[in-house]
Structure formats: structure tokens, C-alpha cells
């Protein structure tokens, strides 16, 4: 919202400098974005009258003008503006004056002396119009400084309003705020109802009262189509960010800036029959003021006559019913539209209008009558004509209801830490337009119609604190009872788990909990996802049933930006629908792409593989003291030959593997992408360290190499070895796996290193041989293992 400080001070004039006023507005929640002068920097520019215009002897596009400044002899000015003409009044920069950094001097243009410069509006910093000289009214006083004539020693203030403060999208709302903040009286312009001179009226039928509870219309006949907008109104519109479009449209825009109430004027001659406010019929089209033809959606409210749509309600008018140079009769409308029925419709058609911006945030449902009278009075003053009676259609049941809100002193103290005097609280609320009645515990307040954001007690307390001034609230030391919560030693902090992955060269990412349904169905098919009722976009329409869709999106994003090595993880919730209930599971998941190590001179590049990622997971499991096993398994998103299910005891707690080639292709990520997902509670289970007495006796290592079927897992062999070796086995290592020459097809060789030790004596060769014999016998019996020579 941009407004002129001078215009604001016509409404309310506190004893504050511009900077102080801006600071007070900002501290009250109406953040001031910018403060800038109403015009560019210039001096020595006066109102001048062009007496005569002659052709330049040596230039087709230049004119030699005789110009009067009201004093002395006329000045000769060489001018190239296409609109210069005799009897025209325009700004003249005199010799010695300045426009920005340029000093005006006597000059010669194609051999003809020029004693000044006639100016355009853009040269004076008043607008972007540079098509010709700034055309001043015929009654502009010749010789008067243009800054004084246009009152340009003014400041433009722009405030950034939050969506809940639609009441400040008009000068009246801003003035009301300033009056409340500074305890200054607000002066309201005269809005006395206009006397009707004719009885003409149009029938109005509102067929969607839930979307348009109030609609006012008025016929005005016999306006002057040649009338011009006065300079004072043009200037106020310009300083509010709007350009002049003719007196009728300018009046509706002026009321928009003044009261915050959008209005629209139709050419009465273009209307057929009465007015209908309704939803569109099938196949109906509308050509907007920007000459674009649209087919309104079934839930888009329209303003229509008996034959055709005239406008998108609350958004933009239609081309064929707009005001033109031939308009003599008007139908002036003003309405209240329910915010929920207007919100989002402008964006649907690629529009962004001042009307929609206000209606979406809420316009006072009691403002329409005042706006109609104000606009009518201005129109009769500027373009003449005769006004008919106001026809009003209203559905009281669909208008916003003013619900009383209880405000308690104890609640104010609890939220603000301080309660102002009762008189101060009542004064603050009253200045904001809130009706207040004292009750035992505090007050009963009825919010005004222009404040859609005041609905609960906390809203009123915020208003009290905001207007009283947060910086004026007394300070106090906070007090509270601190309770120490026990920290179980058997729980590993999540931050520690994250730190371990960071230490292993992973980066943490955070993705949305809602994902694209199609992407998720590729990665996790067959699982019903919870659909969002109001998604941010179509690509975020369902809750995630795995963290992999989000990680895949991060991988794709980074690959597209030339990042070839990616190691990421995320911890969070996934959402599973089970038996009409939503189950939330905490998991930690990750993705790995690219080389095992960053590029360096000390090692050759080697791509990451399944076992690199498995080692990272094993690190987390070992730290938590969890004995897990990895078993080959099939998961739709993973490569059938390079994937494993993770089990703790007999329960599957996660998956690990290389992404399936078809899935990688659909997701547009590299084929050698490795994914893992693990239940978070598994790795958060800690263990309490305990001391085990160190043996004083030497250990013995025996290596055992066996040939088994290629499908036999090393994990199964290790389990058997541990079971048979018993307490003598201190460590077991797989140090070699071989398939190839010397080994039968379909079989492989696995070599184990066994570390044996007793805590009470030195083991002999016979002791070790006995253990090895039992182990080999069991391996042969269970797996058909043969000792490799």
C-alpha cells in the first residue's frame, strides 16, 4: 500500500516527523518498506504559457516557441515535444534552475537560441510519461513555482501489509491506525447521501448470496463525456501508484484508495435488462478489459446482464461494458464479496488486480453504502449528470457475523506480562473501532466489520500490546521451575547418529513430507498413500511412505547441477495407512552416488559400491550394539542382484541396495545410485559399556579357506563358525572371496581369519585343532563346504 503523506495528514495529522511516523507504523506491525519524495529533484521550474509556436528553420522535429512566465518579455524556447501548441500551459525550467544534476543554461539548438526547457512529467520525476510536455490545466497560475502549484514537497510512504491487515488497504484504514497509535483525532470527509434527481433503476438479482451477500447499484444519467479529471485527483492517484484513465474510472479508483472499497462503473447503454450476480453457464465466455477472452470456471462468480457476462466479480470488468468516450449514462456498482469465494480466482486467470487483492483479504461488509455516496458525489462534481436511487440487494444470513469475544485481565497479564489500566485498555480498543463492554473478569468486545482477523481473545491482546507499544511494556525477569529429565544411558542421541554419518562424508538434507504421487508409486508401488486435501502443488499431493522419493529428488537436482559425487542422508517420519489409521514411522535413509573418495592425487578414482554403503550402516549398528544381519532380498525399487534386507533377530528393519535400472531411468537419476533406509529406533538403542577382563595369555590365529556354493552367504558361514567355536573365538574376519580359475563354476572360495584365546591358560595346537575340526565338520554338513588346499 503506497500513499501520500500529505493526503494522510488531511485525515489525521499527528505531531510527528515523517521518520517518527514511519517508525511508529513499523513498530505497530505496518512495516514501512520505503519513504521517497513525491517528485524528482528540481528547482527553478515554473508554470509557463506557450504564446506561439513556429517551425524551426533547420529542423523538422523542432519548434520555436514564445513562452510567457508572467514576468518581463516572453522567452524563446526551442522544443521538440509533439504536443506543444499555442495557449498550452506546461512546466518551464528557467535558466539557473536544475533538473537532477543538470543545470539549465542558455543554449543553441540548430543555430536558434533557447532560454530554458519545457518539461515532460518524466523529466520532473512525476511519472514515466515521456510522450510530450506535461499538460497543465488552463487555470494554472503562470509564473508560480511548479513545486508549490502541485504541492510536490510531499513524501510517498509504502507499507508492506501482512495478509490479515486488509483493513489498511485504504487511506481511511491507515488513518484509523495512525489515530489509534498517536491518540490523534481522525477527520472523515463528508459523505452525506446524494439527493436523487431521477427515478431510473435497474433490477438486480443475486443468485449466489453466499458469495455476494450485498450488492448496491445506481443509475447516473447525462454525464459529460468530455469532462477532465482535476489535477488534485490525478496527483493523489499518481502518488497512490495509479494512473489517470478518465474521470469516471478515476473516481472509482480514488474511492478504492480512500476507503479501500473496490467499485465498478458500467456503460448503461451497453447493458441489456437488469443485473444478475451468478455463476457461469456451460460454454459461456467473457472478454476482459485486457482484450483476453476466457471461459470462466463453474465456481467463478460473474456480474451479468440478461444476455451476457459483464465482469469477473471482484476481479476485472469486461471489455464491452466498460466506460468509453461516448458514454453518457452510467450504472455504478459496489458490492461485498465473501473472501473465500474470490480467493485464488484472479491467479487462475493470470490476473493480479487491486480489487481482487482487497476482496481476497476482506472488505468491510458495512462500507458499501458510504462508498456509493462518496463516489456519486464525486462523479456529479466532476462529470455532472443526475443520480437515481440506490438499489440494494442483501442477504443478512450470509453477511459476516460480529461474534463477541471475551477479554480477560488475567489472560492479558499471562501473554503480555503486564496489564495496562482499565481505562487505557478500553481507550485502545475504542480507537481501533472495537465496541467494548465491561464485565467482571474483563471486557466483552465486538470486533468491527473491517477487522476480519479479530476472532479470539489472543487477537485482542495482540492489539492491546501492539497499540500500547511492545517497547513500552515493562521488563521483568522470567521465572520458572526447571525439571531435569533423565537421559537413559541405553539411548543413543539422534544427533550422535547424524554426526557419525557426517564423519563418514555424508551431508544431511531435509525434504518435504509430501511428495509427488507418481514418483512415489515408482519407488514404493502397492502402498496406499495419504492424499492431502489442500496440496501446495500437484507435485506434492500425498504423504511420503518412504524417504527415498525426497532423496531421489535431491540426487536429480544435484546431478543436473554437475555434482557427480553425492552422499546424503535424512531422518524423519514416513506415513503408512493401516486399517484406517495413520501409522508414523521414524526412519533414517540415505543415497550414495559417485566415487568412494573425493578426487585426490593419492588414490585412483573408484566408484562406490554396495559394500561401502553396507559398511556405513554397519558402523551405526555396531555403535548401538545391535546384532543385525543382511540377507539378499527383493525390493521393487532396488536391483534384484544388489539388494539386501536388514534383520534384527527375525524382524526386518530396513533395506539397502542399488537402485533398480528401470526405476533410475524413470526418476532420471544415475543407475549406480545406492539407497538405504533403516528404522531409526534400531540405531538409537544404545548399550552401556562394560569392562571385560583382558587375558594374560597369547592368542592364536588360524586361517580357514572353504569352497561353497556361490549362493551361500558369508554371513551364514560366520554364524556357524561363531556357534561352534564358542567362547574361545575372540574375533572372526572374512579376508578373501574368490571365484574364477581353479574353482568350479557355480562355487566360490571364502577365507576366514579366526582369533582364538582363553582367559585362563595358553591354548595348545591340540585345543585349536579340535575347534577347527568341529567347525569344518559343521560347515561341510550344513553347506557342503570343502576345505580349499
CATH of the domain at 21: 3.30.56.10
pLDDT band of residue 128 (cuts 50, 70, 90) is: confident
Q: Are residues 347 and 430 in the same domain?
A: no
User: Which pLDDT does position 221 carry in this prediction?
Assistant: 95
Percent of the chain with pLDDT over 70: 100
Do 670 and 712 lie in a common domain?
A: no
Q: Give the pLDDT confidence of 286-339 residue by residue, as tens digits.
A: 998 888 889 999 999 999 999 899 999 999 988 877 888 889 999 999 999 999
8 A C-beta contact, residue 99 and residue 46: no
- How many domains does the chain fold into? 6
Q: Is-contact 511 554, C-beta < 8 A?
A: yes
Give the domain CATH number at 708. Answer: 3.30.70.380
Residues 381 and 305 in one domain: yes
Per-residue confidence band for 650, with pLDDT thresholds at 50, 70 and 90: confident
- pLDDT tens for each residue of 104-117: 999 888 889 999 99
pLDDT at 111: 86
Range of the domain at 174: 2-30+161-182
In tens, the pLDDT along 237-259 reads 999 999 889 999 999 999 999 99
Pairing, β 107-109 against β 112-114:
antiparallel
Q: What are the C-alpha distances in Å from 520 to residues 203, 568, 584, 743?
A: 55, 19, 17, 44
Q: Is the pLDDT of residue 477 over 80?
A: no
Give residue for cell 456529479.
380
pLDDT category at 473 given cuts 50, 70, 90 is confident
Give the CATH number for residue 572.
Answer: 3.30.930.10
Element (H, E) at 657: strand 651-659
In a domain, 691, yes or no: no
- Read off the pLDDT of each residue in 131-142 and give the average, rounded to a whole number: 90
Choose the final residue of a domain: 683, 711, 735: 683
- CA dist 588 and 495 (Å) reads 12
Does the residue 129 lie in any domain? yes
Is residue 167 marked as binding? no
Task: State whether 635 and 713 are in the same domain.
Answer: no
The answer to whether position 217 is within a domain reads yes
CA atoms of 528 and 545, how far apart (whole Å): 8
8 A C-beta contact, residue 119 and residue 134 = yes
Q: Comparing 130 with 673, which gets the higher pLDDT?
A: 673
pTM for the structure as a whole: 0.68
In a domain, 521, yes or no: yes
CATH of the domain at 366: 3.50.40.10
- pLDDT tens digits for range 183-206: 999 999 888 899 999 999 999 999
Give CA–CA dist 323/327, Å, rounded.
6
415, 439, 472 - which closes a domain: 472
Residues 610 and 587 in one domain: yes
What pLDDT score does 520 carry?
Answer: 92
Select from 38, 62, 197, 204 the least CA-distant residue to 126: 38
DSSP per position, 334-384: EEE--HHHHTTHHHHTT---HHHHHHHH---TT-HHHHHHHHHHHHHHHH-
Helix (H) / strand (E) containing 573? strand 566-578
CATH (domain of 87): 2.40.50.140
Q: What is the 3-state secondary structure (H, E, C) of 33-101?
A: EEEEECCCCEEEEEEEEEEEEEEECCEEEEEEEEEECCCCCCEEEEECCCCCCCCCEEEEEEEEEEECC
For the stretch 745-774, pLDDT in tens is: 989 999 999 999 998 899 999 999 999 999
459 is in an annotated binding site: yes
Mean pLDDT score of the chain: 91
In a shared domain, residues 531 and 574: yes
Higher pLDDT, residue 459 or 130? 459
Q: Answer yes or no: is 453 a known binding residue.
A: yes
* Domain co-membership, 604 together with 628: yes
Residues with Cβ < 8 Å from 69, sequence gap 6 or more?
46, 48, 75, 92, 94, 142, 143
Sign of the Cα pseudo-torsion (52, 53, 57, 62, in order): positive
319 and 390 inside one domain: yes
Q: Are residues 655 and 741 in the same domain?
A: no
Neighbouring residues of 47: CB distance < 8 A, sequence distance ≥ 6:
89, 90, 91, 92, 136, 140, 141, 142, 143, 144, 146, 149
E-strand stretches of 253-351? 264-267, 275-278, 286-287, 293-294, 302-304, 309-312, 316-317, 329-336
Q: Are residues 286 and 313 in the same domain?
A: yes
H or E element in which residue 681 lies: helix 680-683
Examine residue 193 and state whether it is found in any structural domain, yes or no.
no
What's the pLDDT at 273? 87
**What pLDDT shows up at residue 145?**
93
Give the integer Cα–Cα distance in Å for 497 and 587.
12
Helix/strand/coil (H/E/C) assignment for every residue in 97-157? EEECCEECCCEEECCEEECCEECCCCCCCCCCCCCCCCCCCCCCCCCCEHHHHCCCCCEEE
Per-residue pLDDT band for 713 (boundaries 50, 70, 90) equals: confident
Lowest mean pLDDT among 63-67, 489-493, 684-688: 684-688
Whether residue 395 is predicted with pLDDT greater than 90 in this model: the reply is yes
pLDDT at 352 over 80: yes
Query: Could you report the per-residue pLDDT of 353-393, keeping only the tens digit for each?
Result: 999 999 999 999 999 999 999 999 999 999 999 999 999 99
Is residue 703 a known part of a binding site? Answer: no
- pLDDT above 90 (res 610): yes
Mean pLDDT of 530-553: 90
* Among 628, 649, 683, residue at a domain's last position: 683
Residue 665 lies in a domain: yes
Strands (E), 503-565: 507-508, 514-515, 542-543
455 and 598 co-located in one domain: no
Residue 641: pLDDT over 80: yes
Answer whether residue 626 is part of any domain: yes
Residue 749's pLDDT is what? 94
Whether the CB-CB separation of 447 and 167 falls below 8 Å is answered with: no
Q: Same structural domain for residues 419 and 556?
A: no
* Residues 494-514, mean pLDDT to the nearest whole number: 94
CB proximity list for 45: less than 8 A, separation 6 or greater: 91, 92, 93, 94, 97, 99, 119, 124, 145, 146, 147
Mean pLDDT within 538-552: 92
- The pLDDT value recorded for residue 708 is 93
Residue 156 lies in a domain: no
Rounded to whole angstroms, the Cα distance separating 675 from 677 reads: 7
Amino acid at each position: 500500500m503506497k500513499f501520500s503523506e500529505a493526503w494522510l495528514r488531511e485525515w489525521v495529522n499527528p505531531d510527528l516527523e515523517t521518520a517518527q511516523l514511519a517508525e511508529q507504523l513499523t513498530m505497530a506491525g505496518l512495516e514501512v518498506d520505503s519513504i521517497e519524495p513525491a517528485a524528482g529533484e528540481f528547482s527553478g521550474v515554473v508554470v509557463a504559457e506557450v504564446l506561439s509556436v513556429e517551425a524551426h528553420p533547420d529542423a523538422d522535429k523542432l519548434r520555436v516557441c514564445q513562452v510567457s512566465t508572467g514576468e518581463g518579455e516572453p522567452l524563446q524556447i526551442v522544443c521538440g515535444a509533439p504536443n506543444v501548441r499555442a495557449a498550452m500551459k506546461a512546466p518551464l525550467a528557467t535558466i539557473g534552475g536544475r533538473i537532477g544534476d543538470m543545470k539549465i543554461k542558455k543554449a543553441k539548438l540548430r543555430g536558434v537560441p533557447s532560454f530554458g526547457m519545457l518539461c515532460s512529467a518524466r523529466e520532473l520525476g512525476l511519472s514515466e510519461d515521456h510522450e510530450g510536455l506535461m499538460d497543465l490545466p488552463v487555470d494554472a497560475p503562470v509564473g508560480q513555482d511548479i513545486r508549490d502549484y502541485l504541492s510536490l514537497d510531499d513524501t510517498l510512504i509504502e507499507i508492506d501489509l501482512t495478509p490479515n491487515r486488509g483493513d489498511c488497504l485504504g487511506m481511511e484504514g491507515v488513518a484509523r491506525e495512525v489515530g489509534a497509535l498517536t491518540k490523534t483525532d481522525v477527520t472523515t470527509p463528508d459523505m452525506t447521501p446524494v439527493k436523487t434527481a431521477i427515478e431510473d433503476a435497474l433490477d438486480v438479482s443475486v443468485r449466489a448470496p453466499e458469495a455476494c451477500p450485498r450488492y448496491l447499484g445506481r443509475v447516473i444519467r447525462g454525464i459529460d463525456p468530455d469532462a477532465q479529471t482535476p489535477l488534485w485527483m490525478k496527483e493523489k492517484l499518481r502518488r497512490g501508484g495509479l494512473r489517470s484513465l478518465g474521470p469516471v474510472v478515476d473516481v472509482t479508483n480514488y474511492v478504492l484508495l480512500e476507503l479501500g472499497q473496490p467499485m465498478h462503473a458500467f456503460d448503461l447503454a451497453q447493458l441489456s435488462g437488469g443485473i444478475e450476480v451468478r455463476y457461469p453457464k456451460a460454454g459461456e465466455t467473457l472478454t476482459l478489459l485486457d482484450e483476453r477472452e476466457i471461459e470462466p470456471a463453474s465456481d467463478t462468480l460473474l456480474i451479468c446482464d440478461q444476455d451476457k457476462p459483464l465482469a469477473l466479480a471482484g476481479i476485472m470488468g469486461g471489455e464491452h461494458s466498460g466506460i468509453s468516450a461516448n458514454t453518457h449514462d452510467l450504472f455504478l456498482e459496489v458490492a461485498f464479496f465473501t473472501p473465500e469465494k474470490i480467493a485464488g480466482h484472479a491467479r487462475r486467470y493470470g490476473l493480479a488486480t487491486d480489487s481482487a487483492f482487497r476482496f481476497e483479504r476482506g472488505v468491510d461488509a458495512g462500507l458499501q453504502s458510504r462508498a456509493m455516496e462518496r463516489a456519486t458525489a464525486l462523479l456529479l462534481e466532476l462529470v455532472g449528470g443526475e443520480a437515481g436511487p440506490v438499489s440494494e440487494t442483501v442477504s443478512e444470513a450470509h453477511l459476516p457475523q460480529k461474534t463477541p469475544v471475551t477479554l480477560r485481565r488475567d489472560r492479558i497479564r499471562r501473554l503480555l506480562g503486564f496489564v495496562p489500566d482499565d481505562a487505557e485498555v478500553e481507550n485502545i480498543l475504542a480507537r481501533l473501532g472495537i465496541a467494548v463492554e465491561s464485565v467482571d473478569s474483563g471486557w466483552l468486545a465486538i470486533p468491527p466489520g473491517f477487522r476480519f482477523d479479530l476472532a479470539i481473545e489472543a487477537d485482542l491482546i495482540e492489539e492491546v500490546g501492539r497499540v500500547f507499544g511492545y517497547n513500552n511494556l515493562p521488563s521483568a525477569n522470567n521465572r520458572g521451575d526447571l525439571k531435569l529429565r533423565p537421559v537413559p544411558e541405553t539411548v543413543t542421541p539422534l544427533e550422535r547418529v547424524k554426526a557419525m554419518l557426517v564423519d563418514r562424508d555424508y551431508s544431511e538434507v531435509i525434504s518435504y513430507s509430501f511428495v509427488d504421487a507418481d514418483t512415489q508409486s515408482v519407488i514404493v508401488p502397492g502402498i496406499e498413500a495419504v492424499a492431502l486435501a489442500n496440496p501446495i502443488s500437484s507435485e506434492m499431493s500425498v504423504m511420503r511412505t518412504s524417504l527415498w522419493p525426497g532423496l531421489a529428488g535431491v540426487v536429480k537436482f544435484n546431478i543436473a547441477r554437475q555434482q557427480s559425487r553425492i552422499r546424503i542422508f535424512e531422518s524423519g517420519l514416513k506415513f503408512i495407512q493401516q486399517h484406517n489409521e495413520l501409522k508414523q514411522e521414524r526412519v533414517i535413509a540415505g543415497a550414495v552416488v559417485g566415487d568412494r573418495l573425493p578426487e585426490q592425487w593419492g588414490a585412483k578414482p573408484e566408484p562406490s559400491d554396495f559394500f561401502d554403503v553396507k559398511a556405513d550402516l554397519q558402523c551405526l549398528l555396531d555403535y548401538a550394539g545391535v546384532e543385525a544381519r543382511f540377507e539378499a532380498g527383493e525390493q521393487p525399487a532396488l536391483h534384484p542382484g544388489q539388494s539386501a534386507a536388514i534383520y534384527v533377530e527375525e524382524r526386518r528393519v530396513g533395506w539397502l541396495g542399488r537402485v533398480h535400472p528401470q526405476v533410475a531411468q524413470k526418476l532420471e537419476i544415475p543407475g549406480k545410485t545406492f539407497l538405504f533406509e533403516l528404522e531409526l529406533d534400531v540405531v538409537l538403542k544404545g548399550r552401556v559399556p562394560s569392562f571385560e577382563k583382558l587375558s594374560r595369555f597369547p592368542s592364536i590365529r588360524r586361517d580357514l579357506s572353504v569352497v561353497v556354493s556361490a549362493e551361500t552367504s558369508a554371513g551364514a558361514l560366520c554364524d556357524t563358525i561363531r556357534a561352534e567355536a564358542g567362547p574361545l573365538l575372540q574375533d572372526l574376519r572374512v579376508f578373501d572371496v574368490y571365484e574364477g580359475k581353479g574353482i568350479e563354476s557355480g562355487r566360490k572360495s571364502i577365507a576366514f581369519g579366526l582369533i582364538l584365546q582363553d582367559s585362563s591358560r595358553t591354548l595348545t595346537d591340540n585345543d585349536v585343532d579340535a575347534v577347527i575340526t568341529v567347525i569344518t565338520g559343521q560347515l561341510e554338513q550344513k553347506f557342503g563346504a570343502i576345505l580349499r588346499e
